[in-house]
Amino acid sequence: GTTLVHVPYKGSSQAHIDLLGGQVEMMLDTTSSAMGQIKAGKLRPLAVTTPRRSAELPNVPTLAEAGVPGAEITTWYGLFTTGGTPRPIVERLRAELGRALALADVRARLTGLGGEPGALGVREFSEMNRAEYERYGRLIREAGIKID
């Protein structure tokens, strides 16, 4: 095993500076935040936390491949609105988002940052969001995590 010390940062930029300067030895970060430093050869990714390898980083193993099975964390972005928004507006927003994500330049930009563009339907997104909420709630309870 190893002992890790949590160092709270307000964002990735300062953490990158400290990692590059040797003040910290490693960090967990989103691929999109670190990709510029990775492509510049300044940071070396050891593993990705997703279920499968990143298309942008095909030679970087998943945590499971690196010997830590079951430790999957996927960063995703979602479009939210208020609960009382009429269904036709929600469907229109979802359709427009889908059209934007289908644009070649948008897809190329997101993929270049290590993302995998996709647009779930409203129901699928709600189900995924609920499953994530339950998964992390269970993890917090089982690990006894408390807010300082």
CA dist 13 and 18 (Å) reads: 9
Residue 9 in domain? no
Look at 48 and 147; give whichever has higher pLDDT. Answer: 48
CA dist 73 and 77 (Å) reads: 13
Residue 64 in domain? no
Q: What pLDDT, on the 0 to 100 scale, is given for residue 87?
A: 93
Residue 101 in domain? yes
Instruction: Please say if the pLDDT value at position 24 is more than 90.
Output: yes
Residue 113 in domain? yes
Residue 50 in domain? no
Q: How many structural domains comprise the chain?
A: 1
Residue 20 in domain? no
For the stretch 63-113, pLDDT in tens is: 999 999 888 888 888 889 998 999 999 999 999 999 999 999 999 998 888
Residue 126 in domain? yes
Residue 120 in domain? yes
Q: What pLDDT, on the 0 to 100 scale, is given for residue 76?
A: 85
Instruction: Please say if the pLDDT value at position 62 is more than 90.
Output: yes
Q: What pLDDT, on the 0 to 100 scale, is given for residue 46?
A: 95
Q: State which residues form the domain around 93.
A: 76-148
HEC profile of 10-68: CCHHHHHHHHHCCCCCCCCCCHHHHHHHHHCCCCCCCCECCCCCCCCCCCCCECCCCCC
Give the position of tokens 């609105």.
81
